[in-house]
């Protein structure tokens, strides 16, 4: 779920209208509406206030269900590369 969907769900669980939530946060009802429609995001200070006023973690509000990308498969070396520095006579082999 998106931030807006999470916010709307929590707000409804707390039985608050957009107007009531807006008053708690000292913002306009239109701001709350925009957030719930994912047309904008609150400032960090308002996010913290949302968390406190709704008694919910920021993780729950911000969790969009996106998981980390799978890790790349392990690459097995197939040979060596020799790097030679012409100016310092340094030879390095990489596997």
Reading the chain (95 residues) residue by residue, the pLDDT tens digits are 899 999 999 999 999 999 999 999 999 999 999 999 999 999 999 999 999 999 999 988 988 776 655 666 676 667 777 666 776 666 666 66
Q: Is the Cβ–Cβ distance between 7 and 58 less than 8 Å?
A: no
This prediction has a pTM of 0.67
How far apart (Å, rounded) are the C-alpha atoms in residues 90 and 84? 6
46 with 25: CB under 8 angstroms? yes
């Amino acid at each position: 779920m998106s931030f807006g969907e999470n916010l709307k769900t929590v707000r409804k669980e707390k039985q608050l209208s957009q107007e009531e939530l807006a008053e708690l946060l000292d913002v306009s009802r239109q701001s709350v509406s925009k957030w719930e429609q994912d047309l904008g995001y609150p400032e960090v200070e308002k996010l913290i206030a949302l968390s406190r006023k709704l008694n919910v973690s920021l993780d729950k509000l911000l969790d969009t269900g996106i998981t980390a990308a799978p890790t790349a498969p392990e690459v097995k070396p197939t040979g060596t590369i020799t790097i030679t520095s012409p100016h310092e006579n340094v030879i390095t082999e990489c596997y």
